[in-house]
Amino acid sequence: MMRTSPLRWLLPAVAMLAAGGCNRVQSVLLSSGDQASAAGGIWNLMLWVCVPIYVFVLIALALAMRRRPTPAGTTRDRAIGRGLAAWLALVGALLTVLVTASFLVDRRINRVAVAPLQIRVTAHQWWWDIQYLDPDVSKRFSTANELHLPVDRDTRIELASADVIHSFWVPSLSGKLDLIPGRTNAMTLTPRRVGWYRGQCAEFCGLQHAHMALDVRVDNAAGFAAWRAQQLAAPQLPLSGAALAGEHLFESSACAMCHAVAGTIAGGHGGPDLTHLASRRMLAAGTWPMDRDHLDRWIADPQKPKPGALMPAVPLDPRDRAAIDDYLMGLR
């Protein structure tokens, strides 16, 4: 049998991994917002300052190791002493530059936004509750696992946790910030490029930490306003008989104990708000794409794709489940 070199699979694997960094959906290096580019700028500065220094130190070390030992009692080499003093001064100056730059970038990232859009993100095991705040109570609404932001406008995001410590991370837009129980953190996002991005929980938070993703849609002002108006409106009334039966089942069985649908009597807050469920792109915090087939399988047994998720498998007749699917798929 021919022995295959590990390079044969290692190289393509590494290449594929690296190629994943080329799209902007979830990239630390290709920033799409002010905060991420500020952090990217200082990252580059530190890289270009530290790499030459590192290389220089290694060269100096190699030279020192090759140097012949001087006999005891020889006088101190004055040239080397002066060189070291200059080196110390250079290192001190460069560290000062880095500290100053880091301080300024920190201020830039944490500056107080003027008249921002206010959003409150509450992390749960293992999904994101997103509330759009507004001084006018009738203009507030909740959604889950999908964050929509207007481009070129400051958004202030309040971060809270309902259970354990999580971390909010949308690499294309900003750095990480923890969500800590009993405390509200805040960050400002200023996206500069329209598109879909992906965020995820960046602090291990339990069994399904890996299935706790967040879709972020950055839209232009008109698109965002349209989305907001749609989210504020009550969902469509069920059109078919099956969907109507589904609504009744939803409200009279275990579903309504945890889930809310605005405008109906379903008002539980143990799980994600489902008011406009069918308008979202992903299901179960980025676990599955949102379509009828996946929704049906999810309701049948959430523990299969996401073991440990807090939604139980509710014993339902397949016909009843189909009616609930009809109802939920109509929530646009």
Binding positions for other proteins, rule: CB under 8 A: 162-164, 181-182, 252-254, 256-258, 268-270, 301, 303-304, 307-310, 312-315
Please answer whether residues 29 and 18 qualify as being in contact, where contact means their C-beta atoms are separated by less than 8 angstroms: no
Rounded least distance, CB 76 to other proteins, Å: 52
Q: Which long-range contacts (CB under 8 A, 24 or more apart) does 24-29 make?
A: 24/172, 24/193, 24/195, 24/197, 25/172, 25/195, 25/196, 25/197, 25/198, 26/170, 26/171, 26/172, 26/197, 26/198, 26/199, 26/200, 27/171, 27/172, 28/171
Burial class (CB in 10 A: 0-12, 13-18, 19+), 199: buried
- At how many degrees (to 10) do helices 78-109 and 34-66 cross? 170
Backbone φ, ψ for residue 143 (5° rounding): -145, -175
When the beta carbons of 156 and 297 are compared against other proteins, the nearer one is 297
> Is 105 or 160 the residue whose CB approaches other proteins more closely?
160
Shortest reach from residue 315's CB to other proteins, in Å:
7
- Minimum CB distance to other proteins smaller for 125 or for 167: 125
The Cβ-side half-sphere exposure at 94, using a 13 Å CA radius, reads: 15
Min dist CB 35 to other proteins, Å, is 30
Min CB(316)–other proteins separation in Å? 10
C-beta of 266 vs 328, nearer to other proteins: 266
Residue 254 Cβ, how far from other proteins at the closest point, in Å?
A: 6
Between 39 and 309, name the residue whose CB sits nearer to other proteins.
309
Least distance to other proteins, CB of residue 300, Å: 12
In the three-class reduction of DSSP (H, G, I as helix; E, B as strand; rest coil), residue 166 is classed as: strand
Are residues 155 and 189 in contact, defined by beta-carbon separation less than 8 angstroms?
A: yes
Q: How far is the CB of 182 from other proteins (least distance, A)?
A: 6
Pairing, β 146-150 against β 155-161: unpaired
CB of 301 to other proteins, least distance (A): 7
The CB-side HSE value for 212 (13 A sphere, CA atoms) comes to: 26
Q: What is the smallest separation between the CB atom of 127 and other proteins, expressed in angstroms?
A: 14
Cβ proximity to other proteins: between 263 and 270 the closer is: 270
Rounded CA-CA distance 53/93 in Å is 13
Burial grade of 147 (CB within 10 A; 0-12, 13-18, 19 or more): buried
Distance CA 231, CA 134 (A): 14
Nearest to 161 by CA among 213, 124, 204: 124
Residue whose CB is less far from other proteins, 98 or 314: 314
Nearer Cβ to other proteins (191/271)? 271
Report the SS3 class of residue 136.
coil
Q: Which is nearer to other proteins, 83 or 312 (CB)?
A: 312
Q: Which residues contact 110 (CB under 8 A, 6 or more apart)?
A: 187, 188
